[in-house]
Amino acid sequence: MKRIDVLYLGNVQGVGFRFTAEDLAKKYSLKGWVKNLADSRVQVVAEGEEEKLSIFLAELSREMSSHIREEKVSWEPGTGEFKKFQIRF
């Protein structure tokens, strides 16, 4: 199991980004969270199989490409701390 911590920059708030991330994460049985940050970025932390995480990242980038200016992805070992994927406020 792997973990990704991703920061998205651009016009990523108020455009359905979190709901799209949540839908895709659930589609691939990923666990973790997504939230808007005070500085207008969106952060995603997700855990699951490496292949599913890669597909999730590619699909999210494709679906939200017109809103993303930059994404910073960090890969880490999974911790198993999450029970589901959710939107954090």
Q: 3 an active-site residue?
A: no
Strand partners, 77: 2
Instruction: Report yes or no: 81 and 18 within 8 Å, Cβ to Cβ.
Output: no
In the prediction, which pLDDT does 12 show? 97
Catalytic site residue from 3, 11, 18, 88: 18
Q: What is the spatial distance between Cα 35 and Cα 54, in angstroms, rounded to a whole number?
A: 20
- For residue 62, what pLDDT is reported? 98
Instruction: Please give the domain boundaries of the chain with CATH numbers for all domains.
Output: 2-88 (3.30.70.100)
What is the mean pLDDT, run by run of 10 residues, along the chain of 89 residues?
98 97 98 98 98 98 98 98 97
For this structure, is 18 an active site residue? yes
Q: What is the pLDDT of residue 44?
A: 98
Which is catalytic among the residues 36, 41, 62, 69?
Answer: 36
Q: What pLDDT is attached to residue 79?
A: 97
